[in-house]
Amino acid sequence: MRLSRSFLPTLKENPAEAQITSHRLMLRAGLIRQTSAGIYAWLPAGLKVLRNIANIVRAEQDAIGAQEMLMPTLQSSELWKRSGRYDAYGPEMLRIRDRHERDLLYGPTNEEMVTDLFGQVVKSYRELPQVLYHVQWKFRDEVRPRFGVMRGREFYMKDAYSFDVDYDAAVDSYRRMMLAYLRTFQRLGVKAIPMVADTGPIGGELSHEFLVLAPTGESGVFFDGAFEEQDWLSEAVDISDRESLAKFFARMTSFYAATDEKHDEAQWAKVPPERRREGRGIEVGHIFHFGRKYTESMDISVSGPDGAPLYPEMGSYGIGVSRLVAAIIEASHDEQGIIWPQSVAPFAAVIINLKNGDAQCDEICERLYAAAPEHLLYDDRGERAGVKFADADLMGHPWQVIVGPRGAKAGIVEVKNRASGERSEMPVDAVLAHIGVGA
Ligand code: ATP
Ligand code: MG
């Protein structure tokens, strides 16, 4: 993208309405604009980040055999009356009436709809397990939307749903999903710690929230510091083997980690004092086993081995894709701006032309840019160098390729790594390989 012609409105000043760093930086770096309370438009660079995150989420869902589909945002109230949640959900649900006086709602989640679709298609226990997911906008009429996309009213979520023949198989699905989540967050460049979460009225042990540590997080967190020191994914897991999944799960849950809601002082006291970590965290994912709650209440069964109706065991698994954009920034920024992990960055690099109109500078910039225009941002604006450097740091591109008249004469450019601040000079021909772009 050429910056001179792009819809990428950076701001020098901190917007008054933004209370936390990620919100400020998302507005200043031109990623989003608010259109009404808790509802945001994603501008071109923001949309690239959102898509990069969603695609990593998809790849790891696919890797455990989950199947992507796409369910609509609008749902019929009838579905929710069948599960009993239409009345139970309360004012967070946005209710809409169509011209025929039919009650619709903008989906806050999709358990009812996916269970109904499952029931229409799957007729025998032999077709289990099934894991279905989609990445779709949700609406929850939050009382206090705040912190930008961190707690919006309309937000983008990956939600997956598993259907299994019995409890043990459902636990396998749950464990596979935990593995997929850890792999996802690792690829996104954030450390998300699974913590025991409330299972609500259903009870049981099987609910975990994934929290990214950040001082601005809304949840208080308590965890054993030994957690942070291990590479949990270094040991291979065979996702088709129950024993292997059980071992993985035992490893993941062998250390104390809980949000304030589930914090247990007696267990906490057993953690050696020097390893006790307290802080704040952002909930970026939540996995949940709830058994037959929806299949029974909605009367969705398949035929079991003995021919009798069998009500599948279910779980649901969310990742806050739009919230993650903000969470990644909370975890990865400095005074100057965002520091994007390479995997989610809107552009791999910015090419900074220090002297627009200089034949050699222009030629080198154009040549580099032409190699991969979809992955590069070319700052071809007629702005001062200082403005270009400040914007590059603010937008957080992993690499800056700086092309000035002196080096250009000798075919040399400077490359700066945003995360480490390291700078090096190199021949133009070496740049793309160095920053990992192009052939
Ligand atoms: P919270 O406790 O933050 O209100 P939740 O527990 O109600 O979230 P879930 O139903 O578990 O949310 O939704 C799955 C994921 O969707 C959450 O882990 C979170 O990352 C994201 N999410 C939920 N509500 C919002 C929101 N209002 N804005 C942005 N992301 C959200
Ligand atoms: Mg939750």
Q: Is the pLDDT of residue 100 over 90?
A: yes
Q: Would 342 be classed as within a structural domain?
A: no
Which ligand is nearest the CA of 260, by number?
1
Whether residues 327 and 182 share a domain: the answer is yes
For residues 400 and 336, the answer to whether their CB atoms sit within 8 Å is: no
Shortest-distance Cα residue to atom 15 of ligand 1: 320
Whether residues 407 and 429 share a domain: the answer is yes
- Output the domain CATH number for residue 171: 3.30.930.10
Lowest pLDDT segment from 222-231, 271-280, 327-336, 370-379 = 222-231
Whether residues 172 and 207 share a domain: the answer is yes
Whether residues 377 and 282 share a domain: the answer is no
Whether residues 81 and 223 share a domain: the answer is yes
Lowest pLDDT segment from 43-47, 262-266, 281-285 = 262-266
Q: Is the pLDDT of residue 205 over 80?
A: no
Q: Kindly give the distance from the C-alpha atom of residue 147 to the centroid of ligand 1, in angstroms, as a whole number.
A: 13
* CA distances in angstroms from 117 to 70, 111, 243, listed in the order given: 12, 10, 32
Whether residues 281 and 258 share a domain: the answer is yes
For residues 346 and 48, the answer to whether their CB atoms sit within 8 Å is: yes
140 lines ligand 1 (CB under 6 A): yes
pLDDT tens digits along 16-56: 999 999 999 999 999 999 999 999 999 999 999 999 999 99
The secondary structure element, H or E, covering residue 67 is: strand 67-68
Decide which of 304, 337, 370 is a domain's last residue. 337
DSSP 8-state code for residue 419? T
d(CA 426, CA 377): 19
Q: State the residue for tokens 């953690």.
A: 271
pLDDT given at position 201: 59
Q: Would 182 be classed as within a structural domain?
A: yes
Q: Which domain holds residue 217?
A: 3-337
How much of the chain exceeds pLDDT 70, in percent?
A: 98
DSSP 8-state code for residue 383? -
Q: Which of 318, 285, 316 is nearest to 163 (CA)?
A: 316
Decide which of 294, 318, 337 is a domain's last residue. 337
Whether residues 315 and 374 share a domain: the answer is no
d(CA 237, CA 30): 41
**Which residues have their alpha-adjacent CB atom under 5 A from ion ligand 2?**
286
Shortest-distance Cα residue to atom 13 of ligand 1: 318
285 lines ligand 1 (CB under 6 A): yes
Q: Is the pLDDT of residue 138 over 90?
A: yes
d(CA 196, CA 206): 8
158 lines ligand 1 (CB under 6 A): no
Whether residues 315 and 357 share a domain: the answer is no
* CA distances in angstroms from 424 to 247, 256, 385, 400, listed in the order given: 45, 44, 18, 11
Shortest-distance Cα residue to atom 31 of ligand 1: 320
127 lines ligand 1 (CB under 6 A): no
DSSP 8-state code for residue 375? T
Whether residues 74 and 200 share a domain: the answer is yes
pLDDT given at position 213: 94
Domain count of the fold of the chain: 2
Whether residues 225 and 158 share a domain: the answer is yes
pLDDT given at position 203: 55
Decide which of 308, 337, 366 is a domain's last residue. 337
Q: Kindly give the distance from the C-alpha atom of residue 120 to the centroid of ligand 1, in angstroms, as a whole number.
A: 29
Pairing of strands 154-164, 313-320: antiparallel
Q: Kindly give the distance from the C-alpha atom of residue 266 to the centroid of ligand 2, in angstroms, as a whole number.
A: 24
352 lines ligand 1 (CB under 6 A): no
Q: Is the pLDDT of residue 231 over 90?
A: no
pLDDT given at position 279: 96
Q: Kindly give the distance from the C-alpha atom of residue 195 to the centroid of ligand 2, in angstroms, as a whole number.
A: 11
Whether residues 360 and 423 share a domain: the answer is yes
Q: Would 61 be classed as within a structural domain?
A: yes
Q: Would 111 be classed as within a structural domain?
A: yes
d(CA 27, CA 326): 11
Shortest-distance Cα residue to atom 28 of ligand 1: 151
d(CA 186, CA 21): 22
Whether residues 410 and 390 share a domain: the answer is yes
- Output the domain CATH number for residue 391: 3.40.50.800
